[in-house]
Amino acid sequence: MARKFLSGNEAFAEGIRLAGPQVISAYPITPQTIVVERLSEMVEEGSLSAEFIHVESEHSALSCAIGASAVGARAFTATSSQGLLYMAECLTYASGGRFPIVMMNANRSTALPWNIYGDQRDSISLLDSGWIQCYVENAQEALDLALMSYYIAEKKEVSTPFMVNLDGFVLTHTYEVTDVPEKEQADAFLPGYETENKLDPDHPRNLGFSVGPEHNMAFKYKEHLGILHAKEAVREAEERFAQIFGRQYTGLVEAYRTEDASFVLITLGSIAGLVRETVDRLRERGEKVGLLRIRYLRPFPNKEIAEVLGNVRAAAVLEKDISFGNEGTVFSNVNSALHKAGIPVPVSGYIGGLGGRNISSEEIEGIFEDLKSEKRKTMFLGLGGEGEWV
């Protein structure tokens, strides 16, 4: 194991080198570019044995990865923002075809107005595309997920593509000291990809056929069951990962100081770091506050969220997303989880950080202060909407 000073993009590239995909196809887009630049350098210097395919667009990047996966290769691609949206057509081909491709998405706002900075509207707008979606907090988690994502996606009963999301710039371009495991350790963790879902001259198969109304829904049901199986696969992957690398992750969510908390802030991605610090500061003042970080948006942690929020007085969701005309999508999903569990906790929805707008520790403190009223609110952080419940 080596300790290196790496950006989020570089850490992820190291993780992908250790996972050893046979095919990498990608098209550059800020703030994702560095991850594929590093990977192309690794291929050139020989530290990664892979076909690195330059393509002419993101649509081709994912199509190419699907083609590679369809001959049984481990495939990787990466994108961001408009690039991810341009890939949207291919996302469902990958998930419906049950190809366990891993993609890194650098979360970035979507046009217009044109903007290269971070928010999570790109990936969250594609929650229904059938991909596993994970949101990481720091460079170490990014590297570790590059390895774990393949383990989870390639489990036979899962066979679902995996999107790992890193906040653009805030995580992709900031540097942290990161443990980089040895290749032998990575190989011990991650077995080679074996599948029958491939073009193989010795066992000829039809791939990607059409299915009419009679059976189409059954295929969609199987796809749904596959991504649900990822819950168990996440648990198994993290247990195995802890045994080999000594780092223990916490499953679909991470609860921080929530055991006796009265007020909990739910969020995802790199902003969780600042919320954690704010929680510590408020705890020193005797405030009973906690953080619930959602790590996986798909499969969605309904049960885990209900368990943490069962005894709190109020909670809020802070997300870098808005479903225009309604509310934040994470907020909708959290409310659904609580409703199904019969938990009447008032939850407020805060939209923040769109287009890279800063979220300050004081604003997070303000959310915890607002929660004491135990009233539901939805608002754009720092802009308005306070008290309006449409």
Helix, strand, or coil here: 175? strand
Q: How near is the Cβ of 3 to other proteins at its closest, in Å? A: 41
- Candidates 362, 277, 278, 269; CA nearest to 318 is 269
Per-residue binding letters, 154-173, with other proteins (x by CB under 8 A):
-----x--------------
Q: Which residue lies nearer to other proteins by CB, 5 or 221?
A: 221
Please select the residue that binds other proteins; options are 8, 83, 97, 181, rule is CB under 8 A: 97
Q: Which residue lies nearer to other proteins by CB, 226 or 352?
A: 226
- The continuous run of DSSP H or E covering 244 comes out as helix 213-245
Q: Is 207 in the site for other proteins (CB under 8 A)?
A: yes
Q: Is 344 in the site for other proteins (CB under 8 A)?
A: no
How far apart are the C-alpha atoms of 164 and 145, rounded to whole Å? 7
Residues near 376 by beta carbon (within 8 Å), at least 6 away in sequence: 346, 347, 348, 389
Q: Which residue lies nearer to other proteins by CB, 22 or 92?
A: 92
What one-character DSSP code corresponds to residue 355? G
Which H, E and C letters describe 162-173, residue by residue? EEEEEECCCCCC
Q: How near is the Cβ of 206 to other proteins at its closest, in Å? A: 6
Q: Which residue lies nearer to other proteins by CB, 196 or 362?
A: 196
Q: Is 71 in the site for other proteins (CB under 8 A)?
A: no
Q: Is 212 in the site for other proteins (CB under 8 A)?
A: yes
Q: Is 220 in the site for other proteins (CB under 8 A)?
A: no
- Binding span for other proteins by CB under 8 A among 39-47, 90-98, 178-186, 280-288: 90-98
Residues near 147 by beta carbon (within 8 Å), at least 6 away in sequence: 15, 18, 19, 181, 186, 189, 190, 241
Residues near 137 by beta carbon (within 8 Å), at least 6 away in sequence: 171, 269, 270, 272, 273, 293
Residues near 341 by beta carbon (within 8 Å), at least 6 away in sequence: 302, 303, 306, 310
Q: How near is the Cβ of 157 to other proteins at its closest, in Å? A: 9
Q: Is 325 exposed, middle or buried (0-12, 13-18, 19+ CB in 10 A)?
A: exposed
- Binding span for other proteins by CB under 8 A among 109-117, 204-212, 295-303, 321-329: 204-212
Q: Is 226 in the site for other proteins (CB under 8 A)?
A: yes
Please select the residue that binds other proteins; options are 219, 236, 340, 373, rule is CB under 8 A: 219
Per-residue binding letters, 101-140, with other proteins (x by CB under 8 A):
----------------------------------------
Q: Is 211 in the site for other proteins (CB under 8 A)?
A: yes
Please select the residue that binds other proteins; options are 220, 222, 224, 372, rule is CB under 8 A: 222
How far apart are the C-alpha atoms of 10 and 12, rounded to whole Å? 5
For residue 254, report the phi and psi dihedrals to the nearest 5 degrees.
-130, 120
Q: Using an 8 Å Cβ cutoff, are 122 and 105 in contact?
A: yes
Helix, strand, or coil here: 95? helix
Please select the residue that binds other proteins; options are 56, 214, 260, 284, rule is CB under 8 A: 214
Q: Which residue lies nearer to other proteins by CB, 15 or 100?
A: 100
Q: Which two tokens stand for residue 41?
A: 């350098």
Q: Which residue lies nearer to other proteins by CB, 194 or 196?
A: 196
Q: Is 299 in the site for other proteins (CB under 8 A)?
A: no
Q: Is 98 in the site for other proteins (CB under 8 A)?
A: yes
Count the residues of the shown chain that bind other proteins, applying the rule CB under 8 A. 25
Please select the residue that binds other proteins; options are 113, 209, 362, 388, rule is CB under 8 A: 209
For residue 75, report the phi and psi dihedrals to the nearest 5 degrees.
-125, 150
For residue 163, report the phi and psi dihedrals to the nearest 5 degrees.
-110, 120
User: CA angle, 76 as apex, 21 and 195 as ends, to 5°?
Assistant: 60
Q: Is 372 in the site for other proteins (CB under 8 A)?
A: no
Please select the residue that binds other proteins; options are 46, 113, 204, 325, rule is CB under 8 A: 204
Residues that bind other proteins (CB under 8 A): 96-99, 159, 196-198, 203-212, 214-215, 218-219, 221-222, 226
